[in-house]
Structure 1
């Protein structure tokens, strides 16, 4: 029996481990494939939702599976007891009925407490992650006290509800133990009377006692798993909501591979409204960009410049109209294939913990050393690499904290050009650089982008040297579009106004 139990637990654990790896990989794939408009408002709460998988995994682990495997055998044991003496079955049936009734009574409260505990834990986790991510900002604003109060409030709620849930769980376990003791005692008492009346032998009493213990063991385990069940049920609901979010690559969609793009971009009556917003960010936008053309997009804050670049990247889909690249609607192109052919430098550069090499080659994991060195040279950070003892293996810190703002932008430029993309999308690429560094970047980008389409978003007039055409936006509309010299002259003379 010992060997069989050990083997059973071992096999169940192996199956559970394999399922764990596959399910966790699938969950991460769904998260990374999620559409931008489906992104949750709180990263901390969403991270807690991902951890909910652990609750589901624990519930379907060996203890649960073994308990349910043993339930059919419990019925067999009860049949054998009834065959020996049906009278001995009475306390077993009564005890099982009491445990089932108790489970039905407390399960509503258990589910409520499990759900509240889950939400309180998610809120506390959100506070922790936001505090760590915004650590420097919190310090700079001396905002430790409000964050501390927020943490203590969520921690107090979690502790209070958790204590209630643990009390209810221990009550269920104690009730299960009491019922099992009652059954054993009742069987012995009834057995003594039956032996006295010569309706049962001593061997039959011993057999009934052993079988009753074996029959009630899985029932007692199931009762003890009530809390895990309700916690897992709440977690599973959260996971189901996450899995229901739209992804960029639906299973029923077959994308078209077009090879290397030429770089032609066209907006056809494009309007876009962010989820949860009533006012559109873009309104009936129509314009075209020829392959190899260099344009600059100017406009005030909130004019729609950043939204436009996100539509070009396919991060969002137009609410109305269509965005085309080389005459192909972006919705027909594989998002990853499209983005590999767009060198993107975002305004707020995001670097990841790891080496400089890892961050430069983030979107090109197969890039060789020559490509990495060339990209670093274009980004103006090769001197930084040469002067550091570890070279490209230097650690940049979380979010690139060990680098200056200009150096982070240099890494972002290197990351954008490493794949030699036909389209460059540059959003304030030199805003944190001094003029000397900016001049070097302009010279290198000019040489690199001779045959490439360049879309530049910048408030620095010095960067307009990279452009041959300027588009001015206001209120989500184009208010001017033409050759650089004409548009700059019109702007200086005040002949370009606001959108109506």
Structure 2
């Protein structure tokens, strides 16, 4: 979070109430859109508003900064001196306190300022003097980002730099505190030298009081500076932590569905956790080490002034340390990689076990899973032990070199004292200075091991951050603001993998706006794939998917999905209340509308009977409700956004016949005025469809109304007879 953003959080410079706001009347959002258009980076306001996810108030400074970065603009907020407004490069955003809204500064000519109202697009020409009491003392500067090549987006340490450099002011505080600490460390040996040479050796007691005062002052100020550095550093780490975590989560939720289908949940969670070790390394041991190492050169220069021969011994030990870690690095990295792989396997296994605990218990295979867990845990512990042993071996070699260095410094140092080239105080001071040189190097042993862990974490986290996200709000993308509901697939071919079998083969399908279409067929025939292509969850290998004549390759998928109502075979309910689950896609919806869609879905009666009614907790994954209750809540949730296109993907196949019949009775009301796509193996709901298509091996083999398909006496008729007896009952 930037300094400017934090100051905004402390003192808001708008007086607007934090209520639900129409994005078309949000002056902050619309001002940003107008400035973006001026910079030839046009973007849709509704797209940006939805992607940003702000539902509880108007756009303020922090929101504008975040959205600006997302749509390809550089944005910076700073304090504004009104008399310098004419020196700014337009466009810039200013806040008009008189009218309680943002305005766009478009330039100055002949001491006349041009401001534009982003809601009415009316330009206003005013003098600087008239703006002094009118504008808030803040400005948001905007410019286009320089174009970047794809290689610049590869994940690595550079990914962290913007978040770290954003807090450069705090870094200055840490550096200043570190500089003072190192100066104290430099002065302390000199004081001890004087105590030994001038007091102990020369018996000059008159100097003792002065030197004692100096030592006491250092004893007080050194830990005090370390304390202040710790406070600043902890705050800095917290800010970087929150920003990096938010960036990672934002990227994760915008990844395509295909990414999640190709990886275990536990694997993804394990990779996300790698951010913790990277962040701790960058804002913890690594940064402190860099600050300490930066002063080593100063200590070495001072040491040369005392005893060049002894200093060369210290430098030789540093070279040995470097050689040891250079030799051990590739072996350590390989072992660390294996340790992390085993840890990720354990996380994936544990997540899968907890998720499938009901199946595990019903099959009574708990003991077998226990043995598998013990085997995997043993593999992880073995890998961890080997890594630690290698690190300990390297640490032992480093410790041996350190002890040999101490002995050599004492040996040669005493000889220099005996020959008169060095005083006793100077020898003591030199050893203290050598300790300040070697101690960071010795700590570097642990930091180096952490660095190897961090390198592996970078590679593993790169599996997420190097994956391209779905296209989001940007210039040139259609927002599909309001759908009529016409859907068309043209020569669509789809495979789950590039080398896999074709799930759909040059499929042509057109669904008119308002048409109710049923899709059935054998498992694996491509029914559900069609609905995922329409939602842009999948991308076809060839062909086009169009909604209202717009190719979905050119549309914003988030805005598209908000206008699609989807009910799956096993709809996911999140831990929370019934109301929260129904209003998941529109959190500011009124209670009246929630109850309306619940009645439409046939859910209001049973919800009213629950303890707490709409505030009743559904439990994890909706475990406190029956399957039919969960499904009706899912239908109500899908209807809340009043979707133009409604997709039922095997929505009733897991229900008992009574629950299915209750939902089917509601379908005529639910489907009224909408385009509907109903996928089902159980054909009871198919009679409500205007047209039914039968799929087999990715192709349409039959098409027509319910009665027409029965008369055709093909696969649909056979399925109908199997489900309703051989009487030919229609």
TM-score of the aligned structures, taking structure 1 as reference length: 0.94
SS state at 1:10 partner:
helix
Instruction: Name the SS of the counterpart of 1:310 in structure 2.
Output: helix
- Name the count of aligned residue pairs: 497
Q: Which runs of 5+ in 1 are unaligned?
A: none
Distance 1:156 1:395, change over 3 A: same
Q: Would you say 1:59 and 2:296 are equivalent positions?
A: no
Provide the rounded CA distance (Å) in 2 between the counterparts of 1:299 and 1:493. Answer: 8
Quick check: 2:472–2:557 contact (8 Å CA) kept in 1?
A: no
Instruction: Measure, in 1, the Cα distance between the counterparts of 2:235 and 2:395.
Output: 28
Residues of 2 paired with 1:142 and 1:332: CA distance? 51
Larger deviation, residues 173-182 vs 393-402? 173-182
State the match for 1:196 in structure 2: 418
Q: What SS is found at the alignment partner of 1:295? A: strand
Contact 1:372 1:418 in 2 (8 A): yes
Cα deviation for residue 277 of structure 1 reads 5.1
- Aligned residue number for residue 224 of structure 1: 446
Deviations 1:179-202 (A, max 9, x none): 334333332332211111111122
Residues 22 and 268 (structure 1), Cα distance of their counterparts in 2 relative to 1, 3 Å cut: same
Q: Which structure 1 residue ranges, 4+ long, deviate > 3 Å from structure 2? A: 171-182, 250-254, 432-440, 491-497
CA distance in 2, matches of 1:230, 1:439: 60
Describe the superposition over 1:49-106 as per-residue Cα deviations: whole angstroms up to 9, x where unpaired. 1111112112113222111111121121111111222012122112212211211222
Confirm or deny: 8 A CA contact 1:264 1:326 kept in the other structure: yes
**Alignment check: 8 A CA contact 1:264 1:291 kept:** yes
The structure-2 alpha-carbon separation of the partners of 1:494 and 1:375, relative to structure 1 and needing over 3 Å to count, comes to closer
Distance 2:297 2:638 in 1: 66
Asked whether the 8 Å contact 1:44–1:122 carries over to 2, the reply is yes
2:241 alignment counterpart: 20
Q: Please, which of 527, 530, 542 is the counterpart of residue 308 of structure 1?
A: 530
Work out whether residues 38 and 246 of structure 1, in 8 Å CA contact, stay in contact via their aligned partners in 2.
no
Q: Which residue pairs with 2:226 in the alignment?
A: 5
One of 497, 513, 526 as aligned partner of 1:291? 513
The 3 A distance-change label for structure 1 pair 341 and 44 is same
* Distance in 2 of aligned mates of 1:135 and 1:260: 43
CA shift at 1:477, angstroms? 0.6
Task: Check whether the contact 1:295–1:456 (CA below 8 A) recurs between aligned residues.
Answer: yes
Partner of 2:339: 117
Q: Which residue of 1 aligns with 2:584?
A: 362
If you compute each CA radius of gyration, which structure gives the higher value, 1 or 2?
2
Q: 1:321 Cα shift?
A: 0.4
Q: Is the 8 A contact 1:480 1:496 kept in 2?
A: no
Aligned-pair distance for 1:162?
1.0
CA distance in 2, matches of 1:222, 1:180: 13
| 1:335-346 map, 5 Å | 335-346=557-568
Within 5 Å, give how 1:103-182 maps onto structure 2.
Answer: 103-182=325-404
Looking at structure 2, the residues matched to 401 and 495 of structure 1 have their Cα atoms a distance apart, in angstroms, of: 37
Quick one: which of 32, 35, 41 aligns to 2:253? 32
Instruction: Provide Cα deviations, 1:96-145, integer angstroms capped at 9, x if missing partner.
Output: 12211211222122111100100000001111001000100111112223
Deviations 1:242-269 (A, max 9, x none): 2111211269764222311000001111
Separation in structure 2 between the aligned mates of residue 356 and residue 465 of structure 1, nearest angstrom: 31
Does the alignment pair 1:318 with 2:555?
no
Does structure 1 residue 81 correspond to structure 2 residue 342? Answer: no
- Which residue does 1:424 correspond to in 2? 646
Which of the residues 604, 608, 611 maps onto 1:382? 604
Query: C-alpha displacement at 1:166, in angstroms?
Result: 1.8
How many angstroms apart in 1 are the aligned matches of 2:366 and 2:475? 48
Asked if the contact 1:114/1:234 (under 8 Å) is kept, the reply is yes
Distance in 2 of aligned mates of 1:396 and 1:303: 34
State the 1:496 CA deviation. Answer: 9.2
Matched, 1:233 2:455: yes
Q: Secondary structure at the match of 2:518?
A: strand
90-99 vs 293-302, which moves further: 90-99
Q: Over residues 282-324 of structure 1, what are the superposed CA-to-partner deviations in whole Å (9 max), with x where a residue is unaligned?
A: 1111121111111111211111101111111110011110010
Instruction: Say yes or no: does 1:456 pair with 2:678.
Output: yes
**2:666 is the alignment partner of 1:444:** yes
Q: SS where residue 520 of structure 2 aligns?
A: strand
What is the CA distance between 1:8 and its match in structure 2? 2.6
State how far apart, in whole Å, the 2-side matches of 1:42 and 1:494 are.
37
Which whole-Å deviations, capped at 9, do the CAs of 1:355-375 have from their partners, x for residues lacking one?
222222222222221222122
Pair 394,201 (structure 1): closer, same or farther in 2 beyond 3 Å: same
2:428 is matched with 206
CA–CA separation in structure 2 for the residues paired with 1:426 and 1:452: 12
Secondary structure of 1:200's match? coil
Counterparts of 1:230 and 1:491 in 2: how far apart (Å)? 67
Aligned residue for 1:470, secondary structure, equals strand
In structure 1, what is the Cα distance between the partners aligned to 2:419 and 2:715? 116
Cα distance in 2 for residues equivalent to 1:348 and 1:277: 29
Asked which structure has the greater RCO (Cα within 8 Å, sep 6+), the reply is 1
Matched position secondary structure for 1:60: helix
CA displacement 1:366-402 (0-9 Å, x = unmatched) = 2221222122222222222211222122222222222
CA distance in 2, matches of 1:286, 1:277: 23
| 2:694–2:716 contact (8 Å) kept in structure 1 | no
Contact 1:37–1:275 (Cα < 8 Å) also in 2: no
Deviation by residue 1:220-256 (Cα, 9 ceiling, x = unmatched):
1111212211111101011112211121126976422
Alignment correspondent of 2:166:
none
Q: Where does structure 2 lack aligned partners over 5 or more consecutive residues?
A: 1-221, 720-730
Is the 8 Å Cα contact of residues 479 and 560 (structure 2) preserved in structure 1?
Answer: no
